[in-house]
């Protein structure tokens, strides 16, 4: 694995590889790698000649400074994991390299997609994701880029970004990877206290029950059902549970079997904010 910190150097190398006819599979990350990331990388490695991974904790997508400060960083551990999955090229830039002082950042209009759920709860977050992913695509020039469905709204935003900017890349969605007890893998899980870690799988249990009950309960009752499930679990603070269509992520008011429908949840457990989702229809 070769590591690059400088944009012009990695870009030159990738252009050279593309000219040789090699295909590039890209997985952008913020480090703190877990098996969810590694699954994306294994798939990217399988489907392309070269696996390129970026590790960059993107400051402009954090709307909470404490979250940014506490974000786990361990490049030695990450590098070992990257080598174990056969990563060919690692891009590990500094903040100054990605955001030279004085450079103006683009503002995107992702339309209705960014006004709901994570967009509404975390102002500026998706713009920060759009800016960094657009830059990373421009640097790493992937044929295919891999994103996990745990961050389902982010995936929809990336699809929109690619459309807005006409970026010639195929976005490959990958299913959520879960711990054995059902908790969706996330870098944030490492910040849960031991007690909260024991409680955390309850989120997915409730989502599964919601899916089962969607056959019997109307949308409003189903939402109330989910909220009620947390009523006697004071360790959880539910920020939202929403039923939304699977393309524009707009809330739905009635079940309609012709509309792909997902259930989305965000909860705070201790000091850690977790999200998860499940397909309902």
Q: What is the smallest separation between the CB atom of 28 and ligand PAF, expressed in angstroms?
A: 4
Site residues (CB under 6 A) for ligand PAF? 28-30, 58, 61, 129, 132-133, 151, 154
Q: What is the DSSP string of 185-235?
A: P-GGGGGS-HHHHHHTTHHHHHHHHHHHHTTTS-HHHHHHHHHHHTTT-TT
Q: What is the smallest separation between the CB atom of 8 and ligand PAF, expressed in angstroms?
A: 21
Q: What is the smallest separation between the CB atom of 217 and ligand PAF, expressed in angstroms?
A: 32
Task: Identify the residue whose tokens are 């590098």.
Answer: 79
Q: For residue 101, what are its two tokens?
A: 């002082």
Q: For residue 248, what are its two tokens?
A: 């524009």
- The reply to whether 37 belongs to the active site is yes
Name the residue nearer to ligand PAF (CB basis): 58 or 229: 58
Name the residue nearer to ligand PAF (CB basis): 90 or 132: 132
d(CA 263, CA 117): 11
Contacts of 240 (CB under 8 A, 6+ apart): 117, 121, 264, 265, 266
Which of 34, 37, 125, 255 is labelled catalytic? 37
Name the residue nearer to ligand PAF (CB basis): 122 or 223: 122
Query: Which 3 state secondary structure label does DSSP give 158?
Result: helix
Q: What is the DSSP string of 67-99?
A: HHHHS---HHHHHHHHHHTT--EEE---HHHHS
Name the residue nearer to ligand PAF (CB basis): 185 or 278: 185
Query: Which 3 state secondary structure label does DSSP give 160?
Result: helix
Q: What is the smallest separation between the CB atom of 158 and ligand PAF, expressed in angstroms?
A: 7
Proportion of the chain in helix, strand, coil states, percent, rounded to 5: 45, 20, 35
Q: What is the smallest separation between the CB atom of 157 and ligand PAF, expressed in angstroms?
A: 9
Name the residue nearer to ligand PAF (CB basis): 129 or 267: 129
Which active-site residues does the annotation give?
A: 37
């Amino acid at each position: 694995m070769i590591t690059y910190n400088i944009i012009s150097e990695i870009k030159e190398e990738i252009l050279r590889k593309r000219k040789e006819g090699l295909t590039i599979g890209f997985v952008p990350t913020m480090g703190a790698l877990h098996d969810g990331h590694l699954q994306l990388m294994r798939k990217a490695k399988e489907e392309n000649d070269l696996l390129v991974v970026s590790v960059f904790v993107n400051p402009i997508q954090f709307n909470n400074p404490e979250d940014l400060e506490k974000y786990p960083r361990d490049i030695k551990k990450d590098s070992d994991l990257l080598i174990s999955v056969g990563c060919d090229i690692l891009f590990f830039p500094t903040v100054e390299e990605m955001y030279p002082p004085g450079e103006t950042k683009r503002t995107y209009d992702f339309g209705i997609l960014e006004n709901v759920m994570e967009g509404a709860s975390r102002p500026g977050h998706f713009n920060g994701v759009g800016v960094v992913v657009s830059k990373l695509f421009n640097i790493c020039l992937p044929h295919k880029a891999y994103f996990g469905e745990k961050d389902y709204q982010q995936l929809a935003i990336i699809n929109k970004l690619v459309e807005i900017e006409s970026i010639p890349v195929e976005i490959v969605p990958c299913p959520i990877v879960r711990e054995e007890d059902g908790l969706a893998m996330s870098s944030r899980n490492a910040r849960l206290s031991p007690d909260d870690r024991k409680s955390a799988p309850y989120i997915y249990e409730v989502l599964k029950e919601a899916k089962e009950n969607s056959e019997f309960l109307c949308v409003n009752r189903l939402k109330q059902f989910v909220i009620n499930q947390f009523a006697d679990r004071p360790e959880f603070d539910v920020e939202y549970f929403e039923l939304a269509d699977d393309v524009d992520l707009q809330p739905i008011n009635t079940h309609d079997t012709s509309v792909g429908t997902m259930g989305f949840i965000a909860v705070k457990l201790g000091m850690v904010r977790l999200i998860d989702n499940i397909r309902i229809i």
